[in-house]
Structure 1
Amino acid sequence: MTQDISFITKTKQLIDNLKSVCANYGLGNDGNEFKIISQVFLYKFLNDKFRYEVKQVQHALAKAENFTEALQQLSDDDYKFLINSLNPNVPHLKVHQLIEYLYNHQNAGDFAKTFDDTLRQIGSENADVFSVKAFSGAKDLLFDELSQFISDSSQRDAFCKALVNKLFEFSFEEMFEQKYDFFATIFEYLIKDYNSDSGGKYAEYYTPHAVARIMASILVPEPVKKVKCYDPSAGSGTLLMSIAHQIGENNCTIYSEDISQKSSNMLRLNLVLNNLTHSIPHIIKTNTMAQPYYLETKFDYIVSNPPFKLDFSDFRNDLEADRFKERFFAGIPNVPKAKKDSMAIYLLFIQHIMHSLSDTGKAAIVVPTGFITAQSGIEKKIRERLIDKGWLRGVVSMPSNIFASTGTNVSVLFLDKQADSEHILLMDASKLGQTVKEDKNQRTVLTAEEEKHIIATFNNKEAIEDLSVVVSKEQVKEKNYSFSAGQYFEVKIEYVDITPEEFQAKMSGFESRLGELFAEGNRLDQEIQKQLKGLKYE
């Protein structure tokens, strides 16, 4: 554990050092800073991953005093054999593409060009595994020409040297050996200063880990294998990482769609850090509603924290196309005359998710709590379909402010094509958690015990006073398809046995107190009348 903390500290120091280099060359808080930090960090990770994996299959290289020189001495045939021996998801690097090689040749002329060319070659030669695809099929390569972000060309060589020197000081290899699972913490630290949507429409970069863990643990209570997991509004992938860890990275393939280039690149990095490189080719940058890449694909597990409100008036009418009729069975929100940005796009995501489930599919979706009790409209049509089809497994209403970025109260819908319609679990967890201050925002945080309590209560289908109820499909219909646990809680009236004498004494006390209040009321009324008469004659 101490060693684990030490690795985290060293990795954070590397990230801070890279930020310092950017600041020293005028790129602190620049719009391109995130590209530089994330891509250089990824290059370092892939470099060390390659070194580690090569040493696992070639023990002679592991024992070599100088790894780079030993690798360089391999014949072309031996090198090809070595590459073919690696897991297909391990990056394929040549000697001149390693950080150690660049470090040893940093004083050669035009180093910035060498650095850029190296990254470009790595991206191009590993495109099949590491490229994010757009809806059109175009591939987004791993790396930009990073030196070009320095406007003063005379400073580019020095900038690239400074980056390589920081990378050379540190190694991930020991972390791979120990298999420490801390990359969620590292990823969060890496993106913390860039964790906002700078123009992308759907990007939701951060879902609280407690919510993600609860969703994954309820969604996958038993071991499963060879399943497809999907998020149509993936952001940086917090929900996908959580469900992949719950299932096991080798037992699932991740699929995602998101309109934001920035969030797609974040997700790619997250997949690499979390041993899910094999899923990178399934990241699609697209408008999931208007141009769904996976429209006809069915998934075993779907997780989503979609944007709740968004102006989609520019493509709203396109969604009424015949090919989307079955998908948007409950309808499409109209364009309001004012406040177009309040259009409830999450209602489209819920319908899209229902359409995308396999015959045995399961889903967990974050929704505004108002959805679960709406009396009419698209919301009620969706709830009716879920109940009538028998797809609702249950709902958990979360504490307010569990998301620091929004004051909207949220609930999580759990869908299951094979749900037990006689034992639907509705939970009101809104009173749980404790309030903490994060920057200027107040946020509610669930304790580890509360997380476990929510998960166990849900999975065991337990009815607990003022927390959860177990209801049938028919009971939900009787309550106008309400998914709110509170509407099913019994109103409890406490009865206390007293004697006739005690009852008479209590009634006398009430009568006496009422008499006093009436007398006081008359006195005040007379006082007011006197005051009014005095004012009249002045």
Structure 2
Amino acid sequence: MTTNNTLTFTTKTKELIDELKSVCASYGLGNDGNEFKIISQIFLYKFLNDRFAYEIKELKPELAEAEDWAEQLAQLPEEEYEVLRFQMKASTAFLKPHQLIGYLFQRQNEPDFAKLLDDTLMDIAVSNNELFAVKTEDGQKVPLFDRITEFVRSKRDGFAKALLNKLVIFNFENIMEEGFDFFSTIFEYLIKDYNSDSGGKYAEYYTPHAVSKIIANILVPEPVSNVTIYDPSAGSGTLLMNLAHAIGPDKCTVYSQDISQKSSNLLRLNLVLNQLVHSIENVIQGNTMTDPYHKKDGDLRKFDYIVSNPPFKLDFSDDVDTLNKKENKDRFFAGVPNVPKKKKESMAIYTLFLQHIMYSLNATGKAACVVPTGFITAQSGIEKKIRQKLVDHKMLAGVVSMPSNIFATTGTNVSIVFLDAANKEDVVLIDASNLGTTVKDGKNQKTLLSESEEDRIIETFTHKTEVEDFSVVVKYDDIKAKNYSFSAGQYFEIKIEYVDITVEEFDNKIQDFEKNLRTLFDEGKTLENEINENLKNLNFQNV
């Protein structure tokens, strides 16, 4: 597809999303807690419908020429129709003729149309449950769809009709072969009002594009295949999708866990859009710290690649006893943060995620974790113990300190710690804090990196290049000598600039210095005499 056509379809897709949001607003659901479920699920229904249509027409080209392809499809004998199920890609939802958008469109004026729409979505979810269901940590399955019209308290039929009428305007069939860049843009637009990086309890942090790109490209500098990738705090999957794109969706299997149901549902949508349906069975909704789900041979599963942008601070005081149990001692080798008497929400939960990542990495694995920049120089405590193990066990690839405000609305400066269990030699430390352009993002400031700046970070790290006041390449022993500091600035050379002068210029400068000194000495002597005279004039009566 040409660039102009791609831009046209991008614009039309965004318009569809805006139209669906407008319908929600018209029925009192604007900014409602359930709006994201309606938008994401009705959008997903549309996408699955059009992907099914696209593949059916690939299998039976005559349908593409039919005036009403859905009606002609419905005329097929049941046996022939079922054969199509086995001919289609395993990652495609299989729909019955009466579950297609066109069929529902024709029946929209019937009584209880809202119930018909909901029943259709639920039937699709049930019949495709094995492929699309997200699991919880206790084995329950979260179906693909909810009964979305039940979120409206009145005029449900009108709401259902309004949604459906938006779906027939636009056709996804022509963009099914578009790649990651297209669908990541659409997904980001789709969820822009539903993901927050403002913190709070179990906040869904949205990782900026620059951070995702830098992590993916540094972790995968050259082709790999048949690998596992994992995020223990996956959110909506931005880091995982960028990493999977760098590797190839058919060359990796995604594993994830996140405590948020909303995030897990959004991640499922992201996987569908990016040809990673085969990994949905590995999407787990649950608490990674207390109940890590992914296991193999009786222990936590070890992965080839791990990425994470965990919450930095969070009150997990209710879980401390569980985390301190004997079975967790190896995983949390550096310890579990103590519960403060005040400000429990300041507990540094990211240190648990980082320890979990280290434990979950296989013998040749690589990982990247976003941390507050304070972590890289902390002089004591859990943070220091983690850095010591990374150095002493030689599993550190490097650190990139990012510009301030790379995450809008969070005042915390961040760095990216790169792990490499096989790296026994040089470590790269980059100070990128002076890069980027500051822009307004609502009420907040945000720093944006240009593409050339992103590439500069990636190339410098990948090629282990030293650049004055930007990057250093150090040995593990160098890091030990600096009290295990991961800050590039502490390794930069302090340079003294020398200026060549003649003998005559040197003599003139010395003469000037001597003259100035004599003047200062004379002024000091005068001041000393004045003080002595004033002291002589003092007596008891004057005091």
Deviates more, 1:169-178 or 1:4-13: 169-178
1:329-408 mapped onto 2 (5 Å cutoff): 329-408=333-412
The Cα of 1:202 is off from its aligned counterpart by 3.5
CA distance in 1, matches of 2:181, 2:227: 22
Residues 160-193 of structure 1: per-residue CA shift (max 9 Å, x gap)? 0111111011110011145584111111111111
Indicate which of 479, 495, 499 corresponds to 2:498.
495
CA distance in 2, matches of 1:216, 1:436: 25
CA distance in 2, matches of 1:198, 1:442: 13
1:2-401 mapped onto 2 (5 Å cutoff): 2-152=4-154, 155-177=155-177, 181-196=181-196, 201-294=201-294, 296-401=300-405
CA distance in 1, matches of 2:412, 2:361: 27
For residue 451 of structure 2, what is the aligned residue in structure 1? 448
Cα gap change, 1:503 to 1:111, in 2 (>3 Å)? same
CA distance in 1, matches of 2:204, 2:27: 31
Residues 205-260 of structure 1: per-residue CA shift (max 9 Å, x gap)? 31111111000100011101111100000111110010000000110111111001
CA distance in 2, matches of 1:520, 1:139: 88
CA distance in 2, matches of 1:429, 1:121: 51
Amino acid at match of 1:281: E
The Cα of 1:436 is off from its aligned counterpart by 1.2
Cα gap change, 1:350 to 1:82, in 2 (>3 Å)? same
Cα gap change, 1:227 to 1:203, in 2 (>3 Å)? farther
Deviates more, 1:199-208 or 1:302-311: 199-208
For residue 457 of structure 1, what is the aligned residue in structure 2? 460
For residue 434 of structure 2, what is the aligned residue in structure 1? 431
Residues 446-482 of structure 1: per-residue CA shift (max 9 Å, x gap)? 1111111111111111111111111111111111111
Query: Does structure 2 retain, via aligned residues, the 8 Å contact 1:202–1:233?
Result: no
CA distance in 2, matches of 1:73, 1:453: 59
Amino acid at match of 1:190: L
For residue 422 of structure 2, what is the aligned residue in structure 1? 418
Deviates more, 1:107-116 or 1:238-247: 107-116
CA distance in 1, matches of 2:109, 2:103: 12
Instruction: State the SS of the aligned residue for 2:428.
Output: strand
Instruction: State the SS of the aligned residue for 1:250.
Output: coil
The Cα of 1:511 is off from its aligned counterpart by 5.8
Query: Does structure 1 retain, via aligned residues, the 8 Å contact 2:409–2:445?
Result: no
Identity, % of aligned pairs? 63
Amino acid at match of 1:83: R
The Cα of 1:393 is off from its aligned counterpart by 0.9
Instruction: State the SS of the aligned residue for 2:98.
Output: helix
Query: Does structure 2 retain, via aligned residues, the 8 Å contact 1:205–1:237?
Result: no
Residues 91-117 of structure 1: per-residue CA shift (max 9 Å, x gap)? 010001000000011112211110110
Cα gap change, 1:516 to 1:298, in 2 (>3 Å)? same
CA distance in 2, matches of 1:520, 1:99: 96
Residues 242-287 of structure 1: per-residue CA shift (max 9 Å, x gap)? 0000000110111111001111111111111111111111110001
CA distance in 2, matches of 1:180, 1:340: 40
Cα gap change, 1:106 to 1:387, in 2 (>3 Å)? same
Instruction: State the SS of the aligned residue for 1:249.
Output: coil
Cα gap change, 1:140 to 1:518, in 2 (>3 Å)? farther
For residue 467 of structure 1, what is the aligned residue in structure 2? 470
Query: Does structure 2 retain, via aligned residues, the 8 Å contact 1:83–1:92?
Result: yes
Amino acid at match of 2:92: V
RMSD: 2.1
Amino acid at match of 1:265: N
Instruction: State the SS of the aligned residue for 1:221.
Output: coil
TM-score normalised to the size of structure 2?
0.92
Residues 466-513 of structure 1: per-residue CA shift (max 9 Å, x gap)? 111111111111111111111111110011122233123334445666
Residues 374-411 of structure 1: per-residue CA shift (max 9 Å, x gap)? 11111111111111111011111111111113111111
CA distance in 1, matches of 2:442, 2:198: 20
The Cα of 1:61 is off from its aligned counterpart by 2.1
CA distance in 2, matches of 1:475, 1:129: 50
Instruction: State the SS of the aligned residue for 2:408.
Output: coil
Residues 394-441 of structure 1: per-residue CA shift (max 9 Å, x gap)? 11111111111311111111111101x331111111111111111111
Instruction: State the SS of the aligned residue for 2:495.
Output: coil
For residue 539 of structure 2, what is the aligned residue in structure 1? none
What is the number of residues matched between the two proteins? 523
Cα gap change, 1:86 to 1:520, in 2 (>3 Å)? farther
Query: Does structure 2 retain, via aligned residues, the 8 Å contact 1:310–1:341?
Result: yes
Amino acid at match of 1:498: I
Query: Does structure 2 retain, via aligned residues, the 8 Å contact 1:205–1:263?
Result: no
Amino acid at match of 1:216: A
Task: Give the unaligned 5+ runs of structure 2.
Answer: 535-541
Task: Give the unaligned 5+ runs of structure 1.
Answer: 530-536
CA distance in 2, matches of 1:326, 1:179: 41
The Cα of 1:196 is off from its aligned counterpart by 2.4
Amino acid at match of 2:386: I
CA distance in 2, matches of 1:182, 1:515: 76
Cα gap change, 1:102 to 1:510, in 2 (>3 Å)? farther
Cα gap change, 1:468 to 1:178, in 2 (>3 Å)? closer
Instruction: State the SS of the aligned residue for 1:289.
Output: coil
Query: Does structure 2 retain, via aligned residues, the 8 Å contact 1:435–1:442?
Result: yes
